[in-house]
Structure 1
Amino acid sequence: MDLNSDSGESFSSWQMGDDEAMMAIVTSANIACGFHAGDPSVMRSTITAAAANDVAVGAHVSYRDLAHFGRVFIDVAPNELINEVIYQIGALQAMAAVAGTRVSYVKPHGALYNAIVHHSAQADAVAQAISEVDDSLTVLCQPGSEIARVAGRKGLRVVFEAFADRAYNPDGTLVSRREPGALLHDPGQIAARVVRMATDHQVIAVDGTVVGLDAESVCVHGDTPGAVAIAAAVRSALADAGIEPARFT
């Protein structure tokens, strides 16, 4: 099971999370590309830490929306979205080359991630952008999503992920951050549910429904309070269950 984290989300003097500590725990890092968070210096330092810990580097692409941290839907034209995703991947690829590593996958962020679960035009735009830049890049996304279907049709490798610290609806989608209980905080509870995800391929939805979940990677959000402690608890629980965390790419 891969353990990934949204990383590199500080901006100038504004700090978000503890990327250096997280790189010693996770196996993959979704690094912000400057559109929802991050800046060139943050990108470079985060990638350097990832390379030092043999952590896979992914482009965490977003709507161009620093003001809202990429968490508001934008009805951007598909051609514009293609170019914005290409731009973000390219920026991270340059920083990765300088750090002696490479970008191996793409994970959309926030509102874009949620939109392309069902938004066909934007899903197609994101997949098209990835295939134009480098068709060997893996797409990290939600099971059953439109982006997974479109990316597969374009010949891109698709890897499904689950979320350690987010609540699930009965249909397998994530509970909106605007709803109470959308974000989980207890490291022990989170670690136990991740072990169940990895061994039984199940998660309990907010209404008590058992939801099937087939994922190769599990995400701990770097901006969640106590993220490092949560990630460490998850990694320890997986190891105790005989599951060695390992990067998917």
Structure 2
Amino acid sequence: MTIRVDLNADMGESFGPWPMGNDAEVLKVVTSANVACGFHAGDPSVMAETIKVAQANGVGIGAHPGFPDLQGFGRRRMQMGREDLQNAIRYQFGAIRGMARALGAEVRHFKLHGALSNMCSEDEEMARACYEAALSVDPDVIIFVLASTAQEPAVKALGATYAGEIFADRAYNDDATLVDRSLPGAVIHDADRAAKRMVEMVKAGAIIAESGKVIPSRVDTICLHGDNETALQIARAVRAGLEAEGVKLAPVGA
């Protein structure tokens, strides 16, 4: 049986004249784009341009909402009341849906960003609040969840369509959460290592933690970050490694 997987990357993170990442080249490699919605990164014009380039490359478009934290790039943990958090999600999701519609595109998936995602991977109730907000805007959206974390039972409880996600360039703890970025080795910069571990995890249908622990997981999509200097090399290496093993690459739900 042919294994099928999606390759996603966080896109549209530039702001005004300040560029972030190499979106045009990464969008030639991935099959799905998680587009920043303006709270942690991006702006309306960057959002529009990213959607256009994704469309031109046949890449699936997704919403990528985060905390209202431009200065911290959405990587700082914040405490928000449930209603405020849900409205922040609706605001961001609505913005990208409106922009996509104006450009003749469709927003197919939804993925939380940064610290918001990490907190939801530990807190099922918080994850459920975010997903309820997203589903109130679009009940048919595909929700990307950090596989085998608290995000998964939250989305299952809502009966939503979801995809299990693993990360090519991040190290894992034994509970399937990501190693904190402040710790040594949390971010992987070696393209060959990233490709090898993704082939191993996809074929095993599991997350493999830094300790060597194997955590059986849904592996529907792989995140390839677009905001570091080795992102393009890692994206190309992971794609080449998977294709060499006969893995089919396609957007989730396509």
Partner residue of 2:51 out of 43, 47, 61: 47
Segments of structure 1 that go 5 or more residues without pairing to the other structure are none
Aligned-pair CA distance for 1:119:
1.9
Aligned-pair CA distance for 1:208:
3.1
Equivalent residues in 2 for 1:227-246 (5 A)? Answer: 227-246=231-250
Aligned-pair CA distance for 1:154:
1.9
What letter is aligned with 2:32? Answer: S
Q: What CA distance in whole angstroms lies between the structure 1 residues aligned with 2:124 and 2:31?
A: 30
Partner residue of 2:208 out of 193, 204, 209: 204
Aligned-pair CA distance for 1:121:
3.6
Q: Residue in 2 aligned with 1:132?
A: 136
Do the aligned partners of 2:149 and 2:177 also contact (CA within 8 Å) in 1?
A: no
Segments of structure 2 that go 5 or more residues without pairing to the other structure are none
Q: What CA distance in whole angstroms lies between the structure 2 residues aligned with 1:29 and 1:7?
A: 6
Do the aligned partners of 1:2 and 1:248 also contact (CA within 8 Å) in 2?
A: yes
Q: Residue in 2 aligned with 1:162?
A: 166
Q: What is the TM-score when the length of structure 1 is the normalising length?
A: 0.96
Do the aligned partners of 2:111 and 2:144 also contact (CA within 8 Å) in 1?
A: yes
User: Which of 222-231 and 81-90 deviates more?
Assistant: 222-231
The 3-state SS of whatever aligns with 1:104 is strand
What letter is aligned with 1:74? Answer: M
Equivalent residues in 2 for 1:210-229 (5 A)? Answer: 210-229=214-233
Q: Residue in 1 aligned with 2:97?
A: 93
Aligned-pair CA distance for 1:189:
0.9
The 3-state SS of whatever aligns with 1:117 is helix
Q: What is the TM-score when the length of structure 2 is the normalising length?
A: 0.94
Q: How many residues align?
A: 249
Residue 76 (1) aligns with residue 48 (2): no
Do the aligned partners of 1:197 and 1:213 also contact (CA within 8 Å) in 2?
A: no
Q: Residue in 2 aligned with 1:61?
A: 65
Q: Structure 1, residues 1-30: CA drift from partner, whole Å, max 9, x if none?
A: 100001111111111101111111100000
> What is the RMSD computed on CA atoms of the aligned residues?
1.3
Aligned-pair CA distance for 1:203:
4.1
Aligned-pair CA distance for 1:67:
1.3
What letter is aligned with 2:155? Answer: A
Q: Structure 1 173/133 Cα, relative in aligned 2: closer, same or farther at 3 Å?
A: same
User: Which of 207-216 and 58-67 deviates more?
Assistant: 207-216
Q: What CA distance in whole angstroms lies between the structure 2 residues aligned with 1:214 and 1:155?
A: 16
Q: Structure 1, residues 105-133: CA drift from partner, whole Å, max 9, x if none?
A: 11000000011112244212201111110
What letter is aligned with 2:38? Answer: G
Q: Structure 1, residues 15-61: CA drift from partner, whole Å, max 9, x if none?
A: 11011111111000001000000001110000101111111111001
Do the aligned partners of 1:51 and 1:100 also contact (CA within 8 Å) in 2?
A: no
Do the aligned partners of 1:166 and 1:182 also contact (CA within 8 Å) in 2?
A: yes
Do the aligned partners of 1:167 and 1:183 also contact (CA within 8 Å) in 2?
A: yes
Do the aligned partners of 2:31 and 2:60 also contact (CA within 8 Å) in 1?
A: yes
Q: Structure 1, residues 59-107: CA drift from partner, whole Å, max 9, x if none?
A: 0011111111111111100001111100101110111112221111110
Do the aligned partners of 2:144 and 2:162 also contact (CA within 8 Å) in 1?
A: yes
Q: What CA distance in whole angstroms lies between the structure 1 residues aligned with 2:103 and 2:20?
A: 22
Do the aligned partners of 1:193 and 1:203 also contact (CA within 8 Å) in 2?
A: no
Q: Residue in 2 aligned with 1:7?
A: 11
Do the aligned partners of 2:149 and 2:176 also contact (CA within 8 Å) in 1?
A: no
Q: What CA distance in whole angstroms lies between the structure 2 residues aligned with 1:71 and 1:63?
A: 8
Aligned-pair CA distance for 1:234:
0.8
Residue 102 (1) aligns with residue 111 (2): no
Q: What CA distance in whole angstroms lies between the structure 1 residues aligned with 2:21 and 2:176?
A: 27
Q: What CA distance in whole angstroms lies between the structure 1 residues aligned with 2:124 and 2:175?
A: 19
